[in-house]
């Protein structure tokens, strides 16, 4: 069974600790192929990453997952057509919620943060996420370290390469975004029919293990809805959308859309 994807608009949705700048190469790639692309930053994430790491907006610590979903929903409703969504990490879970709201023509779900009830016992998942979720930190803004980033996001790269990526892209984050996904706000109606969805995972991913994304994919139950899951070997959480081999994944996405 095939379904033609007619939309020529793509909305890229970044994950935690990043902003719209992380999609720059993807935007150029798809614009060269005739698409109109957008990559809105979450509230409190806009601007130069280095300056944000010096001092993030005080309001950032209050930002919730629901508010991010509402922001992206409002943005999509200003567009002339339903877009194709491409989300990475927390942005992929946002995309899943927007698909549920029937706001997409299709969706690419890359290393998605898990919906409520989709769990893993992988030690790397706990090690990567517990510091951010720490309930004793209240609404304080979380400032990630280079050491943590290397373990959670770029574990297949050298520390030198990881630090370079950190300096260029990483921003502080709200603890309340991932916290809220553990509650009702993070729930997905897996029985509901949906537009075509492509799930992509990274074999070496620490923060979102490929097995966890596979569980997410397998939860969808409508037999008449199109979905596919592919695991990219040798890639980590960042490597699947960034670093030097991002074009391999972007090319696969383009082929799937067409």
pLDDT tens per residue, range 189-198: 999 999 999 9
Predicted TM-score (pTM) above 0.75: yes
Q: How are beta strands 36-38 and 84-88 bridged, if at all?
A: unpaired
Compute CA 89 distance to the chain's CA centroid, rounded to the nearest angstrom: 3
Contact predicate 190/220, CB 8 Å: yes
Q: Do the Cβ atoms of 5 and 229 come closer than 8 Å?
A: no
Cβ pair 92, 203 in contact under 8 A: no
**Residue 47 scores a pLDDT above 90:** yes
> Domains of the chain by range and CATH?
9-257 (3.40.50.1820)
* Band (239; pLDDT cuts 50, 70, 90): confident
Q: Cβ neighbours of residue 201 under 8 Å, at least 6 residues apart? A: 111, 208, 210, 213, 214, 229, 230, 231, 232, 240
pLDDT, position 245: 78
Q: Mean per-residue pLDDT for 151-172?
A: 96
Cα(155)–Cα(128) distance, integer angstroms: 11
Q: How confident is the model at residue 55 (pLDDT cuts 50, 70, 90)?
A: very high
């Amino acid at each position: 069974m095939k379904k033609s994807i007619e939309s020529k608009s793509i909305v890229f949705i970044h994950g935690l600790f990043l902003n719209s700048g992380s999609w720059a190469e993807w935007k150029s790639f798809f614009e060269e192929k005739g698409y109109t692309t957008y990559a809105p930053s979450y509230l409190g994430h806009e601007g130069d990453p280095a300056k944000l790491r010096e001092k993030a907006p005080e309001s950032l610590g209050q930002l919730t997952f629901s508010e991010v979903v509402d922001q992206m929903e409002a943005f999509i409703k200003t567009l002339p057509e339903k877009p194709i969504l491409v989300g990475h990490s927390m942005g992929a879970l946002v995309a899943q919620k927007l698909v549920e709201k029937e706001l997409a023509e299709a969706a690419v779900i890359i290393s998605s943060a898990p919906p409520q009830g989709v769990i893993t016992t992988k030690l790397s998942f706990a090690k990567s996420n517990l510091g951010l979720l720490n309930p004793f930190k209240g609404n304080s803004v979380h400032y990630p370290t280079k050491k943590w980033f290397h373990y959670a996001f770029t574990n297949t790269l050298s520390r030198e390469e990881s630090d370079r990526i950190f300096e260029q892209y990483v921003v502080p984050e709200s603890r309340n975004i991932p916290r809220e996904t553990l509650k009702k706000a993070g729930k997905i109606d897996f029985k509901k029919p949906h537009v075509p969805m492509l799930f992509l995972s990274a074999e070496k991913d620490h923060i979102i293990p490929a097995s966890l994304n596979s569980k997410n994919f397998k939860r969808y139950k409508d037999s008449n809805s199109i979905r596919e899951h592919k695991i990219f070997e040798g890639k980590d959480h960042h490597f699947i959308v960034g670093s030097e081999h991002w074009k391999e994944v972007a090319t696969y996405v383009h082929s799937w859309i067409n």
